[in-house]
Amino acid sequence: MMEIVENVYVVKPYNPNEPGCCVYMVDTKSDDGLVLIDVGLYIDPIHVIEKEGFDLKDIKHCLITHGHIDHFGACHELKKYNADIKFYAHEKDADKIEQKMPISYLNQFFANYDYEPVKLARKFKVDNEILKLGQLDFKCFHIPGHTSGSVAYFLETGNTRLLFAGDLPGTAININDGNLDDYLKSMQKLTAVDIDILCEGHEYLIKPAERVKKFIKGYMKFNENLNHLVLENPYDTKILLDLTLVTCELEFFENALDFCNYLLELDPDNSSVSQLLNKIKEHNPPKIDYIKRLIKENFSKEK
């Protein structure tokens, strides 16, 4: 557990080898107690707060960034410690949180995982809604694109402006609930916001403000290229190389490794790509099976 700024903590940090998302906590220093931003898949990592003198029963609020289960799966476990805990999310992702999911669907992502639904105390409906907890104002930005109900929570405390963004670099594919045009508009809106520290769902902390803007713009380019590759031409080596270079620049090395391996399958004699692969491997990223699976699942769906 790490304190980001006074009374704001990383509870579960980014770890590419572990399931679930990053979890953050804010101590309101008031009767509103502790606030979690997302909770992840399992309750076990949350127990780390006890080592710092906090109690799980004092977690009175949980702000959910979007309707992907790796961000809210353990909500029902929180209720075992505080039956009155309040959950918050955007109304457009509410059904995913408040309804039971088929086991067969869950097993596609997390084997033998069973989700117990929870009811939301408040469903955000419009952009820039304010949730006041203690003396803190959490501003809810609606940022559709990754999902239709994706939100980011903006908090200014002391002299620091933080944004808890869920899956800001998450895929925004024009399939199912994703929408590239919405995503690009959402990210453009965020680039106009002064953010000192970006608290992302599957990344390390991103700071300072200049790097935050660069990060957001990088993922706008990433998702534009990803849509082209996945939905239009999965053999476009130029786009694939651009994706590899963008993810390297963003230090998202597990994706860079995956893209580069696929690129070498398409163009095995490309020595410059082989050299790039060796540079990526120097960062020891975990091996993932992402891009070919994404293409297999989605290519030609709109044909």
Give the tens place of pLDDT for each residue, 46-95: 999 999 999 999 999 999 999 999 999 999 999 999 999 999 999 999 99
pLDDT at 303: 44
Backbone phi and psi for residue 72, each to the nearest 5 degrees, phi listed first: -135, 5
pLDDT at 104: 67
Q: Decide: pTM greater than 0.75.
A: yes
158: burial class by Cβ within 10 Å (0-12, 13-18, 19+)? exposed
Domain borders along the chain are: 2-219, 233-298
> Could you tell me which of 93, 99, 89 has the C-alpha nearest to residue 38?
89
- Model confidence at 108, pLDDT cuts 50, 70, 90, reads low
End-to-end CA distance of the chain: 47
Give the tens place of pLDDT for each residue, 201-231: 988 899 999 999 999 999 999 999 999 999 9
> Could you tell me which of 71, 228, 46 has the C-alpha nearest to residue 151?
71
> Could you tell me which of 229, 299, 220, 290 has the C-alpha nearest to residue 261?
290
In the three-class reduction of DSSP (H, G, I as helix; E, B as strand; rest coil), residue 275 is classed as helix
CATH class entry, domain 2-219: alpha beta
